[in-house]
Structure 1
Amino acid sequence: MNRSRRVALLFAAVVTFGGLSACEPSQLGAAAIVEDQRITVSEIQGYLDQVRDQRKEYGLPTQLDRDAARVEVERRVLNLVFERAAQQMNIRVTEAEIEKTRAAETRSADEIAELAAQNNVTADSLDEVYRRFTIERLISEAIEQQLPNAGEVQLNEEFARRLVAVAESLRIKVNPRYGTFDPKVGQVIATQWDFLKAPKG
């Protein structure tokens, strides 16, 4: 597996591999729930406010794409999927490994900050980004060690298979406001509303 596969390009497209009932009072305010961990609507809205402020600082349009909230929910759900995958593979994500990922980035801090703003990544969430890419790299390296004779295609397929298996094993529910999580592709798919169908609840 070549280095470009193991170390994801910073801020590149997110690696990809039933919804909440709108009337469940115990889960009101949840953008998504992964096992027993809630990602709240207020967290998503607060994050997007930070994104707008950061974009303004760099002279970028503050009007976000209509999918910005869905993409942020997806990012947070996938972070938890990757964390669980690392746990199941007994992978320890140390500060030294995260620093190794940072060191692989050749762009300056100013360039990274501006690129982050362009991609709706706040300065405060950069540590999460590097941790996620570190987990991806460590999983890829572990698979390569387990399958030393495998080619690039087989290694990529095995990587995807394991992430899909983890995603399918988790109880992941997404508020229909943002879409539904498809574990086979690792994405929150935007809801296609049927306005002729009466809502439940």
Structure 2
Amino acid sequence: MRRRSPRSRPAALVAAALSVAALAACAPVQAGSAAIVGDRRITTDSVRSTVDELVAQSPQVERTQALGATVSSMVEYALVDELAARQRPPVTVSDAEIAAARQQFTAQAGGEEALTQAFLQQRVPRSGESTFLRSLLLRQKIAAQLAPAAASDDERSAAFAKAATALQDELDIKVNPRFGRFDPKTFAVTPLASGGLATAASPAPSAPAAG
């Protein structure tokens, strides 16, 4: 039987230790998940398909940037959905309201193609436009319901931010380390210093303030 080289044993131990560390880092997140928001699971497949579409429609966007932005958006959407469901009465948005918002933004942008380009600049592919608008409208409605007597958009936005921060603390949002780490201060997924799939991730797509 061939004897193992004395130098190969330390290398094998280091490799094994790194493998265990990698598994431990992913332990809080279920296999096949990019993130967990409460009882909602964001799958790696859904992230990758969205990123594939985004990169195809906007070739100048780097894949690593698209990954970070996409996971950030999906985490934010899930958080807003949960916050909307917890309001009394629950906050909802109809298809008609989404269509009306799209019509308004299309007019402001100067046409459908201009609006699509604006979405792509926010790292939102065509298939995600309605989801983006729905989440935006939910934010606005939640803010209005939380602060019905608010005198300004800033006051409503502050009420929304306070409620969202409290909810994210309760939900204990987890992100697969391969995509980065959730930053509760910015509501975004930021890259890990050690590298991974999100080493060049950009900040989360910005959305108009709730209100």
Match of 1:93 in 2: 93
Say which structure is richer in helix: 2
Q: Would the aligned equivalents of 1:70 and 1:190 in 2 still touch at CA under 8 Å? A: yes
1:153 shift after superposition = 4.2
Q: Which moved more, 1:78-87 or 1:119-128?
A: 119-128
2:76 matched to which residue of 1? 78
Q: Deviations for 1:136-174, whole angstroms, at most 9, x for unmatched residues?
A: 1212222341x34x4554433222101111211213210
Inter-CA distance 100–140: structure 2 relative to 1 (3 Å threshold) = farther
RMSD of aligned residue pairs (Cα, Å)? 2.5
Map 1:14-53; keep pairs closer than 5 Å.
21-24=24-27, 27-53=30-56
Cα 1:151/1:100, change in 2 over 3 Å: same
Q: How far did 1:70 drift?
A: 1.4
> With structure 2 as the length reference, what TM-score do the two structures score?
0.69
Shift of 1:126: 0.9
- Count of residue pairs brought into register by the alignment: 168
Any conservation in 1 of the 2:33–2:41 contact (CA below 8 Å)? yes
Q: Secondary structure at the match of 1:68?
A: helix
Task: Supply the AA of the counterpart residue of 1:43.
Answer: S
The one-letter code of the counterpart of 2:42 is: I
| Letter in structure 1 aligned against 2:192 | T
Which consecutive residues of structure 2, in runs of 5 or more, have no partner in the other structure? 1-22, 196-211
- Partner Cα distance (2:56, 2:185) in 1: 34
Is the CA contact (8 Å cut-off) linking 1:143 and 1:155 kept in structure 2?
yes
Does the CA-based 8 Å contact 1:21-1:175 persist in structure 2? no
The alpha-carbon deviation at position 23 of structure 1 amounts to 5.0
Amino acid in structure 2 at the alignment position of 1:82: V
CA distance in 1, matches of 2:160, 2:66: 27
- Equivalent pairs: percent with the same residue? 27
Amino acid at match of 2:53: Q
Q: What residue number does 1:167 align with?
A: 168
Query: Structure 1, unaligned stretches of length 5 or more?
Result: 1-19, 195-201
Partner of 1:189: 190
In structure 1, C-alpha distance between the alignment counterparts of 2:125 and 2:153, rounded to whole Å: 33
TM-score with structure 1 length normalisation? 0.72
1:53 Cα deviation (Å)?
1.8
> Which of the pair has more CA radius of gyration?
2
- Structure 1 residue 135 and structure 2 residue 138: aligned? yes
Q: Quote the residue 1:123 is aligned against.
A: 126
SS of residue in 1 equivalent to 2:130: helix
**Greater RCO (CA < 8 Å, at least 6 residues apart):** 1
Distance 2:120 2:185 in 1: 29
Per the alignment, in what secondary structure is the counterpart of residue 68 of structure 2?
A: helix
4+ residue stretches of structure 1 with deviation over 6 A? Answer: none
Shift, 1:111, TM fit: 0.9
Q: Deviations over 1:53-111 (max 9, x none)?
A: 212xxxx53x5163321111110010000001111112122223323322331221111
CA gap 1:168/1:76 in 2 versus in 1, 3 angstroms: same
